[in-house]
Amino acid sequence: MNKHGQTLILFVILIPILLGLAAFVIDVGFMVSKRVELKEVSKTIIESVWEDANEEKIRDLFVKNDIPVEHLEVQITEESIYLVNDYEIDSIFGSVIGIDSYEIKVDITGKMSNQKLVFE
């Protein structure tokens, strides 16, 4: 019996599956990196405005870091600064399977504890 064609059939079936998985991993990695970026930028903004915090200054700093502020919520008290921001990023490969975008959301609070700024 000639079995040379069986390997080719398996190869043809598995390549699209492997490429789809690779594309999904790239999309998820991109989404996670954008979420980490948003979280780190939020922490840095809270640290930089802590002494003289106002919503306009916080919004300006997000805009300077190319982060959308359409859904930014800011609550400033004497003890804390609370930020919630979410926005959507376009999917790179997910549009092939019907996922056009991913929502990135960060909810972070900066508080003074033992004369040190901590984040929750």
The sheet with strand 116-119 has its strands ordered as 73-76, 80-90, 101-113, 116-119
> Can you give the pLDDT at residue 61?
94
Report the distance separating Cα 68 and Cα 87, nearest Å.
7
Q: Where does the pLDDT of residue 21 fall: very low under 50, low under 70, confident under 90, or very high at 90 and above?
A: confident
> Can you give the pLDDT at residue 49?
93
Report the distance separating Cα 50 and Cα 64, nearest Å.
18
Largest CA distance in the chain: 82
Condensed to tens digits (0 to 9), the pLDDT of residues 52-101 reads 889 999 999 999 999 999 999 999 998 999 999 999 998 888 777 778 88
The structure tokens listed for 82 are 């609370």
pLDDT at 1 over 90: no
The helix or strand, by DSSP H or E, that contains position 38, with its residue range, turns out to be helix 4-49
Average pLDDT over residues 18-39: 91
